[in-house]
Amino acid sequence: MLDVGFSEILLTSAIALIVLGPERLPKVARQVGNWVGRARIMARQLSEQLEREVNAEELLKAQKKTSANAGLDAVNTPSIAPPSSATPPPAETAPPTEAAPLVAATTPSPPEPVYGAPASATTPAAMHASDPQPPHE
């Protein structure tokens, strides 16, 4: 790109030292370094963005190609599929009366009682009845 050799860099540095002086040269060199760093970052971001765009474009083309191939396959395949041996014919399905035990088996059962406590003590009214109440005067 830029064909700058060691002798050109040395000559440029000597001219910059004479023009800027030893006090301002480090500040200017720091600023130039920051600008070069920012330029490199921007160039890298630009190339990454272009690469992402190209990859996205290739992905869209591939999706369109596969969807077009799938559309051609759907046109070429017969509309009636042969029966498979894994599914039983509709006449051999179980009657609805056999499904009732399955529903009963899957419904949740009521909670079991707590052992050691009377059944009346587990109700909310019984729990509050055992609480001490202040005397009424």
More confident site: 65 or 115: 65
Mean pLDDT within 5-26? 92
- pLDDT of 60 over the 70 cut: yes
What are the extents of the domains in the chain? 1-75
3-state secondary structure of 137: coil
Q: Residue written as tokens 């399905």? A: 93
pLDDT tens digits for range 83-102 = 555 555 555 555 555 545 55
